[in-house]
Amino acid sequence: MACYLTVTATHTGPYMGLEATGRSVVLHEMMFNRVREGKLSETWAMSAGAGFYEQLTGQPPPPGLDNIG
């Protein structure tokens, strides 16, 4: 099963070491799921566009930070 998602959110609390900014973020994602016996057994996801950290700060993420998106 394949899915395409657009997720929008507002940064209202601490996340990835950043205090709330009130900024909106958008994440575009493709997910591929394997279903076995009617249950989700595996998921692969790929994100596109600027990551959350970059959208919140306008800067690339520090080294080692898992920058979702």
More confident residue, 62 or 13: 13
Question: Per-domain residue ranges for the chain?
Answer: 2-57
Number of C-beta neighbours around residue 25 at 10 A: 21
Burial of 56 (0-12, 13-18, 19+ CB in 10 A): buried
Q: The whole model's pTM is what? A: 0.61
pLDDT digits (tens, 9 = 90+) for 28-56: 889 999 999 999 999 998 876 667 788 88
**CA-to-CA dists, residue 22 to 11, 15, 45, angstroms:** 5, 12, 26
pLDDT digits (tens, 9 = 90+) for 3-27: 999 989 999 998 878 899 999 999 8
More confident residue, 67 or 31: 31
2-57 carries CATH number 3.40.30.10: no
